[in-house]
Amino acid sequence: METLPALNSSGGKHLTFMLANEKYGLEILKVREIIGMIDITPLPQTPSFVKGVVNLRGKVIAVIDLRVKFGIEEKEYTNDTCMIIVDLDNKQMAVIVDAVCEVADIFQENVEETPSFGVKVKIDFIKGIGKLADDIVILLNIDKVLTSEELVLIDSLV
């Protein structure tokens, strides 16, 4: 089996979650906690995927809606909708997902390189595709997802 040197951290436990009908996974080490939806205070002058900020036990953290971020059509939040609090380098962020599924062991030998979809599709935040018994999981490089784009619209005001 081919080993992928750049992916040596992609093996191990992943938290999997649903967005529309796709299953995604992110390293469990990056996940701080999962909470249900709480009141979000919108931030002005931000792109639509930035839903606003929430008070997480006294910390103010930004909330990103992954559906909007990935260009999937928005839908009403349901009881299953929740926020995953992710640990980035020096801060935390919350991402809204449709539902969390499980913590799955995805071994390195079950991870395949992301197929190329042509230059038009930006996929640098996908680390690889993980294969489960009856399913595939899109493994996210969450740091890239959350930092690849400016979070403030510069042309704002007056």
Partner 1 sequence: MVDPAWEEVVESIDSLVMDAVESDSADLASVVKIHDKLIEIAAVVFDTPYAGIGEIAQKTAELAMSIVLQEAEDPAQALDVVVEATSTLQCMAREVLNDRSPAYVPIPDALGLNAEELFATREIDAEDFEEEPLGLDDTITKPMERMTETGEHLAEEIVVSSPTPAKTKDAPLPNYPQFEMGSLTSSHLDDFLSEMDELITRAESLLMTLEKAEQQSVDAIQELLGVFHTVKGVSGILKLKSIIDLAHEAEVLLEEASHLSAATINLLFNSVDVFKAYSRSLHSYRDTDNFLPVPQVEPLIAKLKEVDLVTPPKHKPKQSKAPELKPQVVASDKPAKPTTAATKPAPPKKARQTVPAPVETSQIETGKLATEKLAIEDEDRYLKSQQHGQEEVKIKTNRLDALIDAIGELVISQSMIENDPEISRITRAQTVRNISTMSKICRQLQELAMGMRMVTIQATFHTMKRMVRDLASEQDKDIDVMVSGEHTELDRNIIEAMYNPLVHIVRNAIDHGIETAAERVKKGKKEKATIYLKAYHRGGNIVIEIADDGQGLDRDKILQEAVKRGILEEDEQYPDEVIWQTIFTSGFSTAQQVTAISGRGVGLDVVKKSIARFRGIVDVSGKKDQGTIFRISLPLTLAIIDGMLVKIGAERYIIPLTHIEEFIRIAPEQIATVANQGQVIKLREQVIPVFSLQHLLRVCSTGEEHASIGVIVSWEGKRCCLLVNELLSQQQVVIKTLGDDFNKLTGISGAAILGDGRVGMILDVQNILSMVLNATGLAG
Q: Which positions touch partner 1 (CB under 8 A)?
A: 39, 41-46, 52-55, 57-60, 62, 91, 151-152, 154, 156-158
Query: Minimum distance from CB of 62 to partner 1 (Å)?
Result: 7
Cβ nearer to partner 1, comparing 46 with 141: 46
Judge contact between 97 and 66, C-beta under 8 A: yes
How many whole angstroms separate alpha carbon 22 and alpha carbon 120? 20
Residue type, 128: G
Query: Minimum distance from CB of 93 to partner 1 (Å)?
Result: 9
Kindly report the number of other CB atoms within 10 A of residue 82's CB atom.
20
What are the residues facing 137 on neighbouring strands? 130
Cβ nearer to partner 1, comparing 76 with 150: 150
Cβ nearer to partner 1, comparing 121 with 157: 157
Query: Minimum distance from CB of 145 to partner 1 (Å)?
Result: 13
Kindly report the number of other CB atoms within 10 A of residue 144's CB atom.
14
Q: Is the dihedral of CA 90, 42, 138, 133 positive or negative?
A: positive
What is the chain's alpha carbon radius of gyration, rounded to the nearest angstrom?
16
Query: Minimum distance from CB of 61 to partner 1 (Å)?
Result: 8
Cβ nearer to partner 1, comparing 53 with 138: 53
